[in-house]
Amino acid sequence: MARESFPDDELTEDEKGVIKVLAQGRSGDEIAAELEITGETVRSRVQSILTKLQVRSRLEAATWAKLLANLLADVNAVGSGTSLADKVAEAQAYLANNDVAGTCLKLSDFISQAKAQSGKAIPTATASALILDAERIRTALSC
């Protein structure tokens, strides 16, 4: 079952900054140094992120963010216009705002759009790989 959004518990800009660096696989000390905050502040923000996103670990939170970032990079590499990239960017925004249902919806939109472009604007094999990646992310999010 998909997690639900809790609008009152959206990630703050500070928490979004932490999850962005966390998605790069950085340690707490590295996050603190990059964001110029204390280790205690990093721990506090990470705990808040885990609670708001209803995940069990830093790894799970980072995985979602990283998977979407990788998908966006793959889409941008295809160079087929911005419609697919826009869908991924919208999914990232929904996830950053703790709206997993919205993220799932945008990923579904992405899959539909990629299917429509398959063999036309995007080579079939490339479209199939992008669709598979999006489906894996949906699975990880329990969509």
Per-residue pLDDT tens over the stretch 12-31: 889 888 888 887 778 889 99
The residue type found at 115 is K
Question: What are 98's two structure tokens?
Answer: 């703790």
- Confidence bin at 32 (pLDDT 50/70/90): very high
For residue 2, pLDDT over 80 is answered with: no
Looking at residue 80, its pLDDT comes to 62
The mean pLDDT of the chain is: 84
Check if the beta carbon of residue 72 is closer than 8 Å to that of residue 84. Answer: no
Structural class in CATH, domain 10-56: mainly alpha
Q: Where are the alpha helices (DSSP H) in the chain?
A: 13-22, 28-35, 39-53, 58-78, 83-96, 100-117, 124-140
Distance CA 14, CA 45 (A): 8
Phi, psi of 118 (to 5 degrees): -60, 130
Check if the beta carbon of residue 53 is closer than 8 Å to that of residue 9. Answer: no
Distance CA 8, CA 73 (A): 31
